[in-house]
Amino acid sequence: MTKERLRAAYDAINGDLSPWEPSPRNIVDEDDKVRLLGDVRFQRAYMTYFSMDINRFLGNPRALAISHLFFGDRPLVFALFSGVGRPLTLLSDSIESRTALMVMQSLTLAAVEWMEPMREILMEAQLAEPPNERLSPEDLLNRVTYDGRFSGIMKAGPGFHGLPYIFNNAITRAAITEYVWRLDSTDLPLVLQQLSAISVVLSCGTHKPDQPAFDLYLNHLPTCVHSTKVILENWVEDLNHGDILVKGLWLLVVLTYITQLRPTMDGTLLVPPQLAGQSQSWTPIYNEIRAQATPGGRYSDVQLVRTLRSLRELARAYGAVHGRLYLHAAWKLMNQWTGWTGLGIDREVSLNIRL
């Protein structure tokens, strides 16, 4: 990737971005920060607030993040999973790139995308008495698939923007809290490993046979798993903080699966017969991306490139356990992806929806 290509790609994306809007007023203290959570009008004010508050930690972005994520009246860890995990991904990017500015951007995004029901569900599950039966993510998601409490809840079709339908329904909200409560999180690295495999099947193995389709929101889950792993391994030392982080990821998986209408999961779809002989290594994937990474080209789609990169990172972490799962998924995306579905748009391709 040359410097010129990177600049051209940046300029192509930058042209679609809206400039910062001035906030109605400044955020001056913790009370202001908590009171204005979820108000996008204060995006600029939050960014200024966190940029100033880092001085309290002698310029240490990790200390700044830990303070706001896990302490205070409304810890921002609960908001990392809003917007399909965009604040989570941005925070992970900041750790990998060692960029303090991105830490403040992540906290800002978490603040303006705050969703109080996410905090309430996680806290209710956290504070309840331990269940008699703890289950793995796979066992729980299989139960979610056939749970009648979620039938017909997404009245306007698929799309993560439909979360209010879930949060405003007492029955479905209680059911989701129960699924978070029952997760066996006694071994956090194992849970991440399990969620990693599930995320790949959800991203590439939920379409109808012989009708490849890729859901935008489900395809963000491998990235969310990788991002959680990066944060957990690099910045989180307190076991309780790690537990809430992993349960937040699990909540995001469950919510995304439900908003996308609980498609049937079929791992055999990751290796269709016509691709069986192709998924040999990652090198051809790298070469193709480098060759076609031009503005307007196939790999100008940020979500596609992000998913492929996350699959590679998860393969490095869990390939010894899951074999060629991640490589198969990457090859499938490379060969069969033509666009995204799952947005709730009229006449879009649907996944293999059972109900």
Handedness of CA 202, 208, 212, 215 (dihedral sign): negative
User: What's the 3-state SS for 193-260?
Assistant: HHHHHHHHHHHHCCCECCECCCECCHHHHHHHHHHHHHHHHHCCCCHHHHHHHHHHHHHHHHHHHHHC
| Residue/partner pairs of 128-137 with CB below 8 Å, 24 or more apart | 128/181, 131/181, 131/182, 133/182, 134/182, 134/183, 134/184, 134/185, 134/186, 135/182, 135/183, 135/184, 136/184, 136/191, 136/194, 137/183, 137/191, 137/194, 137/195, 137/198, 137/250, 137/253
Return mean pLDDT, the chain.
Answer: 92
Inform me whether the pLDDT recorded for 199 exceeds 90. yes
Inform me whether the pLDDT recorded for 281 exceeds 90. no
Classify residue 106 by burial, with Cβ atoms within 10 Å: 0-12, 13-18, 19+. Answer: buried
How many Cβ atoms are within 10 Å of 333's Cβ, its own excluded?
A: 19
In the chain, pLDDT over 70 holds for what percent of residues? 93
Inform me whether the pLDDT recorded for 133 exceeds 60. yes
pLDDT (0 to 100) of residue 9? 61
pLDDT (0 to 100) of residue 156? 84
Q: 90-125 pLDDT, tens per residue?
A: 999 999 999 999 999 999 999 999 999 999 999 998
pLDDT (0 to 100) of residue 311? 97
CA angle 79, 80, 85 (to 5 degrees): 120
pLDDT (0 to 100) of residue 87? 98
pLDDT (0 to 100) of residue 346? 81
Query: In this predicted model, which residue has the larger pLDDT, 233 or 301?
Result: 233
SS3 341: strand
Mean pLDDT of 140-166: 94
- Rounded to whole angstroms, the Cα distance separating 284 from 195 reads 27
Report which of 82, 80, 112 is spatially closest to residue 94, judged by C-alpha positions. Answer: 80
Give CA separation, 333 vs 155, 205, 302, in Å.
Answer: 29, 11, 13
pLDDT (0 to 100) of residue 18? 75
pLDDT (0 to 100) of residue 5? 61
Query: In this predicted model, which residue has the larger pLDDT, 13 or 103?
Result: 103
Confidence of residue 23 (pLDDT cuts 50, 70, 90): very high
Low-confidence winner among 1-5, 28-32, 248-252 (lowest mean pLDDT):
1-5
Mean pLDDT of 320-329: 93
pLDDT (0 to 100) of residue 354? 79
Inform me whether the pLDDT recorded for 278 exceeds 70. no
In the chain, pLDDT over 90 holds for what percent of residues? 78
Confidence of residue 64 (pLDDT cuts 50, 70, 90): very high
Mean pLDDT of 220-233: 98
Inform me whether the pLDDT recorded for 61 exceeds 90. yes
Mean pLDDT of 154-165: 91
Backbone angles phi, psi at 345, to 5 degrees: -85, 145
Backbone angles phi, psi at 185, to 5 degrees: -110, 25
- Rounded to whole angstroms, the Cα distance separating 1 from 261 reads 38
SS3 78: helix
Inform me whether the pLDDT recorded for 343 exceeds 60. yes
Confidence of residue 11 (pLDDT cuts 50, 70, 90): low
Please report where in the chains the tokens 């979820």 appear, as a residue. Answer: 38
